[in-house]
Structure 1
Amino acid sequence: MASRRVPLVLLACGSFNPITNQHMRLFELARDHMHSTGRYQVVGGIVSPVSDGYGKQGLVLAEHRIAMAKLALRSSNWVTVDEWESRQPDWTETAVTMRYHSGRILKEFQQSTGPHNDSSPCPQLKLLCGADFLETFKIPGLWRADHVEEAVGHFGLVCVSRGGLEPERAVHASDTLSRHRRNIFLVREWVRNETSATEVRRALRRDMSVKYLIPDSVIEYIHRHKLYTRDSERINEGAVLRPLAKQAVKSLDD
C-alpha cells in the first residue's frame, strides 16, 4: 500500500543549459521505476541548476536557466525548480546540495507531523541522473571520495540509462559504487530520447529549429532574450571547471 511506502523526493542537479524535454522525461521514468519497486512513493521532484560559478563553457546566466526551467515545468504537478544552488556565489558540490535539500525536507516533515511521530516513514532524497553521470566518478579531481560515499551510500542514486551507455558496467568497475549497488537504482529507458542540451545549443547557434526538443515557452524565451548565440558559446571559454579548480586548491592545501 502507498501509505506504507517510503516517501521519496528526486533531486536532479546540473546546468540545464537549457532544460530539455529529456531532462523532464527522466523524472517520469524514475518515478515509474521507483513505484514499481513497491518500496517507495515519489512525492516530489526538484530541478536544481548550478550557479554561474560552475565555469562551464557556454553557460548562460542562472537567472535565465531558472526562468526557462520554471516555464518548462509549468506542465508538471510534482516537479519544481529550486534556486538555492544557483544563488550560491561559488559552485556547490552535489553532496552539499543533497545535504541541504535533505535537511529542508526533513524539517518540513517534522513540522507537519510533529517531532515524536513514529507512524509515518521519514521521507528520503535520492539523486536523479543519467547513465553518463556515473562516468564522472572516474574523472580525477572531479569528486571528493567522501562526497561520493555520501551521495551514493547515504542518499542513493536513481540512474536512467541513455543511448549505448552501460551503467551496470560503471557500477561494477567502481569499488565504491559496487559496495553500495543496492542503493543505486538503474532505470532502463526503452523509448530512447537522445536529446542533449549541447545539441540544442548547437542548433540554435546555427538558426535551426529546436521545436519538439524543448518546450515552446522555452524557445520563445530564448529568442526573446537572444540566448545561445555564437557569442554566448564563448562564455567561460578556456576556463577550468570550478570543481577541478576547487579540488586542485584543496590538494595543494593538503
Structure 2
Amino acid sequence: MTRRIGILGGTFDPVHIGHLRGALEVAELLDLDEVRLTPSARPPHRGTPQVSAEDRLAMVQCAVQGVTPLTVDDRELRRDKPSYTVDTLLSLRQELAVHDQLFLLLGWDAFCGLPSWHRWEELLDHCHILVLQRPDADSEAPDELRNLLAGRSVSDPLTLNGPGGQISFIWQTPLEVSATQLRERLASGRSIRFLVPDAVLAYIHAHGLYPASN
C-alpha cells in the first residue's frame, strides 16, 4: 500500500500556528498519512537559530503531541553538516518503498529561492513539491523556475501521481505570523499567546527562552 508523506522543514525558532495550520491543511486536503516537521540544524540560507537545536526540537515535539497526522523527524539535527534538503530526501527515500509518495512543503518565498539551494535541480527526482501560497501572494517566480514550472506544474494537487517529479500550488488560510515577529515580541516583553500552542509557550517560559531585552 502506497504511503503518502509530507515534509515541512524549517528552523522552527519557535514553531508557531502558521507552520502547524499549513501542515494540517495540506494533510487533510491530500489525505496524507503524515506530515513530518523536520527542524534544521545548520540552515545554509539563514542565520544561526537563536535557541539550541535541542530546544527547537522539544518545542516542535510539544506542538504536535496528540495532533494526528503531524509528526517530528529529527534526522537533520543528527547530521553533522549543513541541512541540505536533497540529503534529507535521499535519506527518507532509503527508508520507503519505491512507490511511496513524498511531498516537500515550501512557502512561496522559499520556492522562489530554490535556485540558490544545494543541488536543487535534483529535488524533484525524489519528491513532489507543494508550494503553499496565501491568497494575497502577488510576486512572480524567478526566471530560473519558469521553465521548470512550465514542464512540471500540475494545476490540481489531488492529481499528483507517482513518487515525485511534479509541482502544485495550494492556497492557505492567511495567517500573518512569523518566527521573527514572535522573537521580536518576546524580546520586547509582549505576549505571544495564541500565536503558538500553549504547550510551546509553557516550554518557552519554563526554559527561559527568548528573554526580554533590558
Normalising by structure 2, we get a TM-score of: 0.83
What is the alpha-carbon distance in structure 1 between the residues aligned to residue 134 and residue 183 of structure 2? 19
Q: Is the 8 A contact 2:16 2:179 kept in 1?
A: yes
Structure 1 stretches lacking a partner, 5+ long: 35-40, 108-121, 232-254
Change (3 A) 1:90 1:171: same
Aligned to 1:249: none
Aligned to 2:79: 88
Is 1:143 the counterpart of 2:117 in the alignment? Answer: yes
Q: Is the 8 A contact 1:131 1:166 kept in 2?
A: no
Structure 2 stretches lacking a partner, 5+ long: 155-165
Q: 1:161 aligned to 126, 133, 146, which one?
A: 133
Q: Is the 8 A contact 1:102 1:124 kept in 2?
A: no
Q: 1:208 aligned to 190, 197, 200, which one?
A: 190
What is the alpha-carbon distance in structure 2 between the residues aligned to residue 29 and residue 8 of structure 1? 15
- Choose between structure 1 and 2: higher helix proportion: 1
What is the alpha-carbon distance in structure 2 between the residues aligned to residue 65 and residue 178 of structure 1? 37
Secondary structure of the structure 2 residue equivalent to 1:42:
coil
What is the alpha-carbon distance in structure 1 between the residues aligned to residue 196 and residue 26 of structure 2? 20
Q: What is the CA distance between 1:53 and its match in structure 2? A: 6.6
Residue 82 of structure 1 aligns with an amino acid whose one-letter code is: D
Q: What is the CA distance between 1:199 and its match in structure 2? A: 0.5
Aligned to 2:146: 174
Higher RCO structure (Cα 8 Å, ≥6 apart): 1
Q: What is the CA distance between 1:181 and its match in structure 2? A: 1.7
Aligned to 1:236: none
Identity %, equivalent residues: 25
Aligned residues: CA RMSD: 2.4
In the comparison of the two structures, how many residue pairs are matched? Answer: 200
Change (3 A) 1:180 1:7: same
Residue 218 of structure 1 aligns with an amino acid whose one-letter code is: V
Residue 80 of structure 1 aligns with an amino acid whose one-letter code is: T
Change (3 A) 1:90 1:229: farther
Q: Is the 8 A contact 1:149 1:176 kept in 2?
A: no
What is the alpha-carbon distance in structure 1 between the residues aligned to residue 95 and residue 171 of structure 2? 30
Is 1:17 the counterpart of 2:13 in the alignment? Answer: yes
Q: What is the CA distance between 1:197 and its match in structure 2? A: 0.8
Normalising by structure 1, we get a TM-score of: 0.71
Q: What is the CA distance between 1:65 and its match in structure 2? A: 0.4
What is the alpha-carbon distance in structure 1 between the residues aligned to residue 55 and residue 84 of structure 2? 21
